[in-house]
Amino acid sequence: MDYVPALARWIHFLAGVMWIGLLYYFNFVQVAAMKAATADGTAAGISKHVAPRALLFFRWAAVVTWLAGAALLSDKFVDAFLLRRGMAGIGVGAWLGTIMLFNVWVLIWPNQQKILGLKPATDEEKTKARRVAFLASRTNTMLSIPMLFFMAGGWSHRAIFGL
Amino acid sequence: MKNPLDSLWGTVISGVILTAILYAIVKSILASAGA
Protein backbone atom coordinates (compact mmCIF):
# COMPACT_ATOMS: atom_id res chain seq x y z
CA MET A 1 0.00 0.00 0.00
CA ASP A 2 1.98 2.98 -1.28
CA TYR A 3 -0.70 5.39 -0.14
CA VAL A 4 -0.34 4.67 3.57
CA PRO A 5 3.09 6.33 4.14
CA ALA A 6 2.10 9.40 2.12
CA LEU A 7 -1.20 9.78 3.98
CA ALA A 8 0.47 9.09 7.32
CA ARG A 9 3.15 11.74 6.65
CA TRP A 10 0.51 14.30 5.58
CA ILE A 11 -1.67 13.65 8.66
CA HIS A 12 1.43 13.62 10.90
CA PHE A 13 2.37 17.10 9.65
CA LEU A 14 -1.18 18.51 9.81
CA ALA A 15 -1.82 17.27 13.35
CA GLY A 16 1.74 18.11 14.42
CA VAL A 17 1.38 21.72 13.27
CA MET A 18 -1.87 21.99 15.25
CA TRP A 19 -0.35 20.38 18.37
CA ILE A 20 2.89 22.33 18.48
CA GLY A 21 1.17 25.50 17.19
CA LEU A 22 -1.22 25.40 20.14
CA LEU A 23 1.65 24.53 22.51
CA TYR A 24 3.47 27.67 21.35
CA TYR A 25 0.23 29.66 21.63
CA PHE A 26 -0.11 28.58 25.28
CA ASN A 27 3.52 29.34 26.12
CA PHE A 28 4.26 32.41 24.03
CA VAL A 29 0.81 34.08 24.17
CA GLN A 30 -1.70 32.75 26.70
CA VAL A 31 0.50 32.60 29.82
CA ALA A 32 1.37 36.30 29.52
CA ALA A 33 -2.17 37.19 28.39
CA MET A 34 -3.70 35.44 31.42
CA LYS A 35 -1.41 37.36 33.74
CA ALA A 36 -2.47 40.67 32.22
CA ALA A 37 -6.14 39.65 32.01
CA THR A 38 -6.17 38.54 35.66
CA ALA A 39 -4.79 41.94 36.64
CA ASP A 40 -7.63 43.81 34.89
CA GLY A 41 -10.37 41.29 35.73
CA THR A 42 -10.95 39.91 32.21
CA ALA A 43 -9.33 36.47 32.63
CA ALA A 44 -12.71 34.69 32.64
CA GLY A 45 -13.04 35.29 28.90
CA ILE A 46 -9.87 33.32 28.22
CA SER A 47 -10.37 30.58 30.81
CA LYS A 48 -14.04 30.03 29.89
CA HIS A 49 -14.09 30.47 26.11
CA VAL A 50 -10.57 30.17 24.71
CA ALA A 51 -8.55 27.74 26.85
CA PRO A 52 -11.03 24.80 26.84
CA ARG A 53 -11.33 24.91 23.03
CA ALA A 54 -7.57 25.26 22.57
CA LEU A 55 -6.98 22.33 24.96
CA LEU A 56 -9.49 20.15 23.11
CA PHE A 57 -7.67 20.50 19.78
CA PHE A 58 -4.28 20.45 21.54
CA ARG A 59 -4.68 17.10 23.30
CA TRP A 60 -6.38 15.27 20.42
CA ALA A 61 -3.93 16.66 17.86
CA ALA A 62 -1.19 15.16 20.06
CA VAL A 63 -2.81 11.71 19.81
CA VAL A 64 -3.34 11.95 16.04
CA THR A 65 0.25 13.15 15.55
CA TRP A 66 1.65 10.21 17.50
CA LEU A 67 -0.56 7.61 15.77
CA ALA A 68 0.24 8.98 12.31
CA GLY A 69 3.94 9.02 13.23
CA ALA A 70 3.73 5.38 14.34
CA ALA A 71 2.01 4.47 11.06
CA LEU A 72 4.72 6.33 9.17
CA LEU A 73 7.49 4.42 10.97
CA SER A 74 5.58 1.23 10.18
CA ASP A 75 7.93 -1.80 10.26
CA LYS A 76 10.79 0.46 11.45
CA PHE A 77 8.89 1.45 14.60
CA VAL A 78 10.89 -0.84 16.92
CA ASP A 79 14.23 0.03 15.27
CA ALA A 80 13.48 3.74 15.77
CA PHE A 81 12.64 3.38 19.46
CA LEU A 82 15.70 1.15 20.04
CA LEU A 83 17.86 3.69 18.15
CA ARG A 84 19.30 0.97 15.90
CA ARG A 85 19.83 0.25 12.20
CA GLY A 86 20.45 3.89 11.28
CA MET A 87 17.20 5.03 12.93
CA ALA A 88 18.79 6.83 15.91
CA GLY A 89 17.96 10.31 14.59
CA ILE A 90 14.26 9.80 13.98
CA GLY A 91 14.21 7.52 17.03
CA VAL A 92 15.25 10.37 19.34
CA GLY A 93 12.53 12.49 17.71
CA ALA A 94 10.02 9.71 18.32
CA TRP A 95 11.07 9.36 21.97
CA LEU A 96 10.78 13.11 22.55
CA GLY A 97 7.34 13.17 20.88
CA THR A 98 6.23 10.25 23.05
CA ILE A 99 7.41 11.96 26.24
CA MET A 100 5.54 15.09 25.13
CA LEU A 101 2.35 13.07 24.50
CA PHE A 102 2.67 11.63 28.00
CA ASN A 103 3.06 15.13 29.45
CA VAL A 104 -0.07 16.30 27.61
CA TRP A 105 -2.36 13.53 28.85
CA VAL A 106 -0.88 12.75 32.27
CA LEU A 107 0.33 16.15 33.50
CA ILE A 108 -1.15 19.03 31.48
CA TRP A 109 -4.76 17.99 30.79
CA PRO A 110 -5.70 16.57 34.23
CA ASN A 111 -4.24 19.65 35.94
CA GLN A 112 -5.85 22.06 33.46
CA GLN A 113 -9.22 20.45 34.25
CA LYS A 114 -8.73 21.50 37.88
CA ILE A 115 -7.50 25.00 36.95
CA LEU A 116 -10.42 25.67 34.59
CA GLY A 117 -13.00 24.29 37.03
CA LEU A 118 -13.92 21.32 34.84
CA LYS A 119 -13.02 19.05 37.77
CA PRO A 120 -13.63 19.93 41.46
CA ALA A 121 -10.51 21.14 43.29
CA THR A 122 -9.67 23.17 46.39
CA ASP A 123 -7.76 26.44 46.08
CA GLU A 124 -4.64 24.65 47.32
CA GLU A 125 -5.03 21.91 44.71
CA LYS A 126 -5.55 24.54 42.00
CA THR A 127 -2.36 26.35 43.00
CA LYS A 128 -0.41 23.10 42.78
CA ALA A 129 -2.12 22.15 39.50
CA ARG A 130 -1.16 25.53 37.99
CA ARG A 131 2.52 24.95 38.73
CA VAL A 132 2.56 21.34 37.48
CA ALA A 133 0.67 22.18 34.26
CA PHE A 134 2.89 25.22 33.65
CA LEU A 135 6.14 23.29 34.09
CA ALA A 136 4.91 20.36 31.98
CA SER A 137 3.91 22.78 29.23
CA ARG A 138 7.27 24.58 29.42
CA THR A 139 9.05 21.20 29.38
CA ASN A 140 7.19 20.31 26.20
CA THR A 141 8.16 23.65 24.64
CA MET A 142 11.81 22.91 25.50
CA LEU A 143 11.56 19.34 24.17
CA SER A 144 9.87 20.53 20.96
CA ILE A 145 13.14 22.21 19.91
CA PRO A 146 15.26 19.03 19.67
CA MET A 147 12.15 17.02 18.69
CA LEU A 148 11.67 19.15 15.56
CA PHE A 149 15.39 19.04 14.78
CA PHE A 150 15.35 15.24 14.74
CA MET A 151 11.88 14.83 13.24
CA ALA A 152 12.63 17.18 10.36
CA GLY A 153 15.96 15.51 9.65
CA GLY A 154 15.92 14.33 6.09
CA TRP A 155 18.56 14.71 3.43
CA SER A 156 19.47 18.12 4.84
CA HIS A 157 20.70 16.44 8.03
CA ARG A 158 22.77 13.66 6.48
CA ALA A 159 25.89 15.82 6.19
CA ILE A 160 25.83 17.07 9.79
CA PHE A 161 25.48 13.50 11.04
CA GLY A 162 28.47 12.52 8.91
CA LEU A 163 26.41 10.22 6.67
CA MET B 1 19.03 28.61 41.37
CA LYS B 2 16.10 29.82 39.31
CA ASN B 3 14.28 27.28 37.14
CA PRO B 4 15.11 28.17 33.50
CA LEU B 5 11.64 26.99 32.47
CA ASP B 6 10.11 29.91 34.36
CA SER B 7 11.21 32.22 31.54
CA LEU B 8 10.59 31.85 27.82
CA TRP B 9 14.20 32.60 26.95
CA GLY B 10 15.39 30.06 29.52
CA THR B 11 13.09 27.48 27.93
CA VAL B 12 14.31 28.18 24.40
CA ILE B 13 17.99 28.21 25.39
CA SER B 14 17.52 24.95 27.33
CA GLY B 15 15.94 23.43 24.21
CA VAL B 16 18.86 24.49 22.03
CA ILE B 17 21.40 23.10 24.53
CA LEU B 18 19.46 19.83 24.72
CA THR B 19 19.46 19.68 20.91
CA ALA B 20 23.27 19.98 20.86
CA ILE B 21 23.66 17.25 23.50
CA LEU B 22 21.28 14.85 21.72
CA TYR B 23 22.92 15.62 18.38
CA ALA B 24 26.32 14.56 19.79
CA ILE B 25 24.80 11.35 21.20
CA VAL B 26 23.00 10.45 17.95
CA LYS B 27 26.09 11.23 15.89
CA SER B 28 28.20 8.89 18.04
CA ILE B 29 25.54 6.15 17.84
CA LEU B 30 25.43 6.44 14.05
CA ALA B 31 29.23 6.51 13.82
CA SER B 32 29.67 3.43 16.02
CA ALA B 33 27.00 1.58 14.03
CA GLY B 34 28.78 2.51 10.82
CA ALA B 35 25.52 3.87 9.41
Instruction: Please write the tens of the pLDDT for every residue from A102-159.
Output: 999 999 999 999 999 999 999 999 999 999 999 999 999 999 999 999 998 766 677 7
- Determine, for residues A150 and B25 on separate chains, whether the beta-carbon distance falls below 8 Å: no
- Determine, for residues A142 and B8 on separate chains, whether the beta-carbon distance falls below 8 Å: no
The residue extents of the domains of chain A are: 3-158
Dist. CA A77–CA B24, nearest whole Å? 22
Asked if ipTM goes beyond 0.95, one says no
Of chain B residues 1-35, which have a CB less than 8 A from chain A?
3, 5-6, 8, 11-12, 14-16, 18-19, 22-23, 25-27, 29-31, 33, 35
Residue of A nearest to B19 (CA): A146
The number of angstroms, rounded, from the C-alpha of A126 to the middle of its chain's C-alpha atoms is: 22
Q: For the whole model, what pTM was predicted?
A: 0.93
- Tens digit of each residue's pLDDT (9 = 90 or more) over A58-117: 999 999 999 999 999 999 999 999 999 989 999 999 999 999 999 999 999 999 999 999
Residues in chain A with CB shorter than 8 Å from the CB of B33 are 84-86, 88
Spatial neighbors of A151 by CB under 8 A, at least 6 apart, are A16, A90, A93, A97
Q: Would you state the pLDDT for residue A155? A: 64
Dist. CA A41–CA A35, nearest whole Å? 10
Tell whether the model's pLDDT for residue A1 goes beyond 70: no
Q: Would you state the pLDDT for residue A99? A: 98
Nearest to B30 among A28, A139, A163 (CB): A163
Element (H, E) at A108: none
